[in-house]
Amino acid sequence: MLIVQKFGGSSVANAERVKNVAGRVADAYRAGHDVVVVVSAQGDTTDELIEKAAEVNPRASKRELDMLLTAGEQMSAALLAMALKAMGLPSVSLLGWQIGLKTDSNHGNARIKSIDTERLTFELSKRNIVILAGFQGVNKFEDITTLGRGGSDTTAVAVAAVLRADLCQIFTDVDGVYTADPRIVKGAKKLEEITYDEMLELATLGAQVLHNRSVEMAKKYNVDLEVCSSLERKPGTKVREVAGMEKMLIRGVARDNNVARVTIIGIPDVPGMAYKLFAVLSAAKINVDIILQSIGRDGSKDIVFTISADQKEEAMAALKRVEMIEKAKDVLVDTDVTKLSIVGAGMESHPGVASKMFEALFDQNINIQMIATSEIKISVLIDKKDSDRAVQAVHDIFFTD
Amino acid sequence: MLIVQKFGGSSVANAERVKNVAGRVADAYRAGHDVVVVVSAQGDTTDELIEKAAEVNPRASKRELDMLLTAGEQMSAALLAMALKAMGLPSVSLLGWQIGLKTDSNHGNARIKSIDTERLTFELSKRNIVILAGFQGVNKFEDITTLGRGGSDTTAVAVAAVLRADLCQIFTDVDGVYTADPRIVKGAKKLEEITYDEMLELATLGAQVLHNRSVEMAKKYNVDLEVCSSLERKPGTKVREVAGMEKMLIRGVARDNNVARVTIIGIPDVPGMAYKLFAVLSAAKINVDIILQSIGRDGSKDIVFTISADQKEEAMAALKRVEMIEKAKDVLVDTDVTKLSIVGAGMESHPGVASKMFEALFDQNINIQMIATSEIKISVLIDKKDSDRAVQAVHDIFFTD
């Protein structure tokens, strides 16, 4: 088998952990597999480098930040290659440009355009373990770029796709995908498998195990993913196109506390109003999630929508550029909210799922502010103070035997 | 003018110093010059990385060490580019591979084969200040290499050569080349200029201002060098083909405490003996400096030679492989010696120089163990305990008005 393994920054934070990772890699190699490993920068390296940059230039260009930060992955890749060699295993570290990992020129958040497999297959043909510096690529001008959040996951999936790897293992500090966050919810169970679409919804909804972009890419190129623990040696959760013979009704409960609810009261009810509003937000790269619009009355209406709480200030600045907002009675922002969601490909054929979720919340006397549904998920917006109770109650109603 | 400036690790050791360097670069740029800057890794970065490597693999491969260490120069190059931008100056950092700096495959001590000027001239044509990561290149397999000791100096001189720069300034923590080490010798004077050959002798002899390889390259490609202080803003010492209208009698006094004297007593006096002896040392990459051989007597003779004290163990191991050494009466190694040298292109036409030097040592009652001369230098081996007194006395006799 050809296996791509990805280890995050905490997995390679110091010499001892680098050696531990080398042990995991060695197991796969000694079992006869060809292995490509993608690593992130060690521990807090990236944060330390960002701090260094801020000391010389608080508004450093993204091009130079990419140049600075990619040194982090370069160092951890070299160290892991050394650790493997100390175990007597042939290994070679490679950087983004050395495997022709071409991206667009969007420094700090670049998209992968292509990867040249020549060097990779050459090294694998020699039975070398290839250690790749994750998160990095080069644009067509040969300037170094970075792939943004979850960039090393994306590197791993992209490399697995072009090499047609049999499996792409993402090692993290959790040992798989759970029916809910086990740190919050009693009785949360590890899933053996999950579909790409379910994982996408869970990632978006704040499960934070895998970054969305890597799951989207895995789905597009049909790369089998496995989320495993970098600490314990046991099976993780498989992410693939079809998961399980019988679809589970719901796969998991997720919550996202990084949400802001924006309420615009009494905006003029004229054609194109919603279009202009959301076009401005879109131009400012603000993702709008749940949208609720009141029925027009007296020539005006109310609009409520949610965004990521991180983008609150940018969103308010963008809204100031919409003329009609001036005519609104009020614009309110509330970050004391949580989005609670259940996800499962099975729910589309089970109409009772939503009412079961609402029942669990009603039993806890938790008020639902907004509702959004898709074929494989139901999300509700609730008070942040109810968040822990809510996720436990909803999990209990679906997962308690 | 096109100026190449090189700043060492201590000059960019922290944010404050990086900003200071940016100020020096800015002066040259604002004076209308085109500027290429070569930087080393910050302060102790290289040592810290070597330590990290040793933690995971005490015998890490040179290929992976090069991958690891070059991250150091990458970080300082990015930080300096950021600092210049913070001052409103256009700048761009570039790595070895991005300027096509090709080397041979001798990892850890690679030689430069070529540099592609396309990217460099493109950036300069846009009036960008180019910040280059020194010390690094790539071999023909696109693996990262390093240039060994003095590598950033070599990068600066090589880039100055291919760009036909008007000047290559090497900024260090000393402000120029002196007639003797000013930390030891009272009355040591800074030289305004010096020839390549003189500088080469002084570098070899332990003046440690510039690495030999960079001076050799400067001489080969006729690159005007200037050694200047990174802290003070005043003229340094120019190194060029012809220095001064009137040649100075001697340029400087240097001493080297890193010397070992090897004495082989009573080795058989047969043909090829010296050849075999020094062939073995040469094969072990041990540079032999002064050689003295007694006249053969009773079928045997004595040989005395000096080597770098660092290579004492390697030399002794190599000598064990010479059969005839077993027949020698004794092999002695003494590291309590110092090589004291005077250098100056003027001395070839002034026969009295040597006797003047010996007179100064005689007046101090200092015994001369060995003597070696070339057209532009005279070296003597003396007891290490006499070293300070000797260098002061010799300096006084030539440089006191």
Nearest to residue B102, comparing CAs of B74, B64, B66, B143?
A: B143
Q: Is the pLDDT of residue B208 over 80?
A: no
Cβ distance of A79 and B56 shorter than 8 Å = yes
Cβ distance of A119 and B142 shorter than 8 Å = yes
Can you tell me the mean pLDDT for B242-250? Answer: 64
Packing angle, helices A15-30 and B45-56, rounded to 10: 50
* pLDDT at position A246: 54
Question: 3-state class of B186 per DSSP?
Answer: coil
Q: Is the pLDDT of residue B242 over 90?
A: no
Cβ distance of B57 and A92 shorter than 8 Å = no
Question: Minimal Cα–Cα distance from A184 to chain B, Å?
Answer: 37
Where is pLDDT greater, at A377 or A135? A135
Cβ distance of B82 and A18 shorter than 8 Å = no
Cβ distance of B75 and A19 shorter than 8 Å = no
Q: Is the pLDDT of residue B218 over 60?
A: yes
* pLDDT at position A243: 59
Cβ distance of A18 and B61 shorter than 8 Å = no
Task: Tell me the C-alpha to C-alpha distance, in Å, between residue A341 and each of A198, A205, A256, A259.
Answer: 11, 7, 9, 13
Task: Tell me the C-alpha to C-alpha distance, in Å, between residue A165 and each of A2, A26, A218, A225, B227.
Answer: 5, 18, 11, 10, 55
**Which residues of A fall within a CB distance of 8 Å from B78?**
53, 64-65, 67-68, 71
**Which residues of A fall within a CB distance of 8 Å from B74?**
67-68, 70-71, 74
CA–CA separation, B234 vs B228, rounded Å?
8
pLDDT band at A354 (very low <50, low <70, confident <90, very high): confident
**Phi-psi sector, A61: left (phi>0), alpha (psi -120 to 50), beta:** beta
Cβ distance of A75 and B77 shorter than 8 Å = no
**Which residues of B fall within a CB distance of 8 Å from A52?**
15, 75, 79
**Taking chain A, what is the end-to-end CA distance rounded to the nearest angstrom?**
38
Name, in order, each residue with C-beta under 8 angstroms of A48's C-beta and a sequence gap of 6 or more: none
Query: CA of B61: which chain A residue's CA is closest?
Result: A82
Nearest to residue B224, comparing CAs of B209, B207, B208, B236?
A: B236
Q: Is the pLDDT of residue B325 over 60?
A: yes
Cβ distance of A93 and B56 shorter than 8 Å = no
Over residues B372-396, the pLDDT tens digits come to 888 888 999 999 999 999 999 999 9
Can you tell me the mean pLDDT for B38-67? Answer: 96
**Which residues of B fall within a CB distance of 8 Å from A63?**
92
Contact present, A128 and A136 (Cβ < 8 Å)? no
* pLDDT at position B64: 98
Cβ distance of A64 and B81 shorter than 8 Å = yes
**Which residues of B fall within a CB distance of 8 Å from A13?**
none
* pLDDT at position B21: 96
Which of these ranges, A130-134, A200-204, A341-345, B232-236, has the smallest mean pLDDT? A200-204
**Which residues of B fall within a CB distance of 8 Å from A116?**
none
* pLDDT at position A129: 98
Query: CA of B19: which chain A residue's CA is closest?
Result: A56
Q: Is the pLDDT of residue A284 over 90?
A: no
Question: 3-state class of A216 per DSSP?
Answer: helix
Cβ distance of A86 and B119 shorter than 8 Å = no
Over residues B145-189, the pLDDT tens digits come to 999 888 999 999 999 999 999 999 999 888 889 999 888 899 999
Where is pLDDT greater, at B337 or B289? B337
Where is pLDDT greater, at A319 or B323? A319
**Which residues of A fall within a CB distance of 8 Å from B92?**
63
Q: What percent of chain B has pLDDT over 90?
A: 65
**Which residues of B fall within a CB distance of 8 Å from A75?**
49, 52, 68, 71
Cβ distance of A67 and B93 shorter than 8 Å = yes
Strand order in the sheet with A377-383: A288-293, A300-308, A252-268, A330-343, A377-383, A370-373
Residue B173 DSSP one-character state: S
Between CA A16 and CA A21, with CA A17 as vertex, the angle to 5 degrees is: 125
* pLDDT at position A247: 58
**Taking chain B, what is the end-to-end CA distance rounded to the nearest angstrom?**
38
Q: Is the pLDDT of residue B131 over 80?
A: yes
- Measured CB to CB, residues of chain B less than 8 Å from chain A are 15, 18-19, 22, 49, 52-53, 55-61, 63-65, 67-68, 70-72, 74-75, 77-83, 85-86, 92-93, 95, 97-98, 119, 142-144
* Partner residue facing B64 (CB), from A18, A81, A143: A81
Over residues A14-62, the pLDDT tens digits come to 999 999 999 999 999 999 999 999 999 999 999 999 999 999 999 999 9
Mutation target to probe the B interface, by most B beta carbons within 10 A, among A48, A75, A93, A142 is A75
* pLDDT at position A248: 64
Task: Tell me the C-alpha to C-alpha distance, in Å, between residue A192 and each of A130, A175, A399, B215.
Answer: 28, 11, 15, 65
Question: Minimal Cα–Cα distance from A123 to chain B, Å?
Answer: 12
**Which residues of B fall within a CB distance of 8 Å from A61?**
82, 85
**Phi-psi sector, B164: left (phi>0), alpha (psi -120 to 50), beta:** left
Can you tell me the mean pLDDT for A70-88? Answer: 98
Question: Minimal Cα–Cα distance from A170 to chain B, Å?
Answer: 23
Cβ distance of A74 and B75 shorter than 8 Å = no
Query: What's the whole-number average pLDDT of chain B?
Result: 91
Contact present, A360 and A353 (Cβ < 8 Å)? no
* Partner residue facing B56 (CB), from A52, A74, A86: A86
Over residues A211-269, the pLDDT tens digits come to 888 999 999 999 999 999 888 888 999 998 875 645 567 889 999 999 999 999 888 88
CA atoms within 13 A on the CB side of B374: 16
Which of these ranges, A122-131, A190-199, A265-274, B229-238, has the smallest mean pLDDT? A265-274
* pLDDT at position B246: 54
Say yes or no: ipTM exceeds 0.95.
no
Q: Is the pLDDT of residue A391 over 60?
A: yes
Query: What's the whole-number average pLDDT of chain A?
Result: 91
* pLDDT at position B80: 98
Query: CA of A50: which chain B residue's CA is closest?
Result: B79
**Which residues of A fall within a CB distance of 8 Å from B23?**
none
In terms of pTM, does the model score above 0.80?
yes
Cβ distance of A64 and B82 shorter than 8 Å = yes
Question: Minimal Cα–Cα distance from A317 to chain B, Å?
Answer: 26
- A with B: how many residue pairs have Cβ under 8 Å apart? 115
pLDDT band at B294 (very low <50, low <70, confident <90, very high): confident
Residue recorded with tokens 């290579």: B311
Q: What percent of chain B has pLDDT over 70?
A: 98
Nearest to residue B162, comparing CAs of B197, B139, B132?
A: B132
Where is pLDDT greater, at B119 or A149? B119
Domains in chain B, please, with CATH?
2-172 (3.40.1160.10), 253-399 (3.30.2130.10)
Question: Minimal Cα–Cα distance from A37 to chain B, Å?
Answer: 15
**Which residues of B fall within a CB distance of 8 Å from A72?**
71
* pLDDT at position B248: 64
